[in-house]
Amino acid sequence: MEYSTLGRTGLKVSRLCLGTMNFGVDTEEKEAFRIMDAALDAGINFFDTANVYGWGENAGRTEEIIGRWFAQGGGRRERVVLATKVYGEMHNPLEDPNNTPGLSAFKIRRHLEDSLRRLQTDHIELYQMHHVDWKVSWAEIWGAFELTVQQGKAGYIGASNFSGWKLMEAQKEAESRHFLGLVSEQHKYNLNCRLPELEVLPAAQHLGIGVIPWSPLDGGLLGGNALKKQSGTRSGRDAARIEKHRIQLEQFSGLCRELEVREDTVALAWLLANPAVTAPIIGCRTMEQFEQSLRAVEVVLNEEVLNRVDEIFPGPGGRAPEAYAW
């Protein structure tokens, strides 16, 4: 496994991040344990989750599964750079006006304590805002996060789904408080979604913020099974999307056959070739999917291949404003 530093910090993380969104939903606990053990064995030390994973009435279940895995001991917790998130609404049978999506200081502190309890740990390496909160001031947000860092309950703070200008705004406010601020931005970025190249990636690089792409295979669309349209599978349910992108997907599959490399591996290797990217999130449902993802760090795409990929999945043309102006 290869490693990189997380943004401008000295924290070393694996070039692949294990996503756990499926744990407790599509992946039963026993299989989740196997995948996490295999991740450590493969050298993956970067695990990502969120307090809402499990969803709805089961929100928090994924963190609980990870907590029970940590509880087995064997150095599991010590070897993991753990990231979780806060913002979403958690299931609460009681009426609570504060149980709404957002980033109030009240919510950040309360939900951090709940996450720590479920995860059976006393700290989180990376605590991430799952979304922008337009209604809460940075004074309140950074005040709450500063306290979590001072108390040792979180090592670093990250963001997710922020625009480029929101990253700049957040950092400006953090610097005014003499606080490190954001060290990472988790963003939807893949061959079929290249808009982040306009603003988000350049802003992140300028600020020393590491980019952690989520949905690197665009929900399976960039995987090898998408064109098979197997009945009863995710690719079958996404038939309309597949038809919309069929020509591109067929061209991409043809290129991958020439390279003798799987489509999902090439899609991940393409992300890893971008200097703005710290680690794409591999959201595996099965051990087989996990094992298939590992080869991405071994595949190096040369300039000719990268140019051919650009022809199949053209991006916005570079960063703004050059992408659309002189």
List pLDDT tens digits, range 10-55: 999 999 999 999 999 999 999 999 999 999 999 999 999 999 999 9
What is the average pLDDT across 46-69?
97
C-alpha 267/C-alpha 275 separation (Å) is 15
pLDDT value of position 262: 95
Contact between residue 114 and residue 60 where contact means Cβ atoms under 8 Å apart? yes
What pLDDT sits at residue 226? 80
* Mean predicted lDDT score pLDDT of the chain: 94
Residue 238 reports pLDDT greater than 80:
no
Least confident of 21-30, 160-169, 194-203, 283-292: 283-292
CB atoms within 10 A of CB 5: 14
- Can you name the CATH fold of 3-224+263-302? TIM Barrel (3.20.20)
Which residues, in sequence order, are CB contacts of 315 under 8 Å at separation 6+?
194, 197
What strands lie across the sheet with 17-19, from one edge to the other? 210-214, 182-188, 154-160, 124-129, 81-86, 46-48, 17-19, 281-282
For residue 294, name the pLDDT band (cuts at 50, 70, 90): very high
User: Taking residues 280-296, what's their average pLDDT?
Assistant: 94
pLDDT average, residue stretch 178-198: 98
pLDDT band at 228 (very low <50, low <70, confident <90, very high): confident
Q: Which of 223, 244, 245 is nearest to 233 (CA)?
A: 223
pLDDT recorded at residue 283: 92
pLDDT class for 324, splitting at 50, 70, 90?
very high
Residues taking part in catalysis: 53
Residue 237: per-residue pLDDT: 59
For residue range 244-260, what is the model confidence (pLDDT) as tens digits? 899 999 999 999 999 99
Give the span between the Cα atoms of 37 and 80, in whole angstroms. Answer: 11
Which sequence spans correspond to the domains of the chain? 3-224+263-302
Mean pLDDT of 285-299: 93
pTM, whole model, 2 decimals? 0.93
**Biggest CA pair distance of the chain:** 58
* pLDDT recorded at residue 92: 81
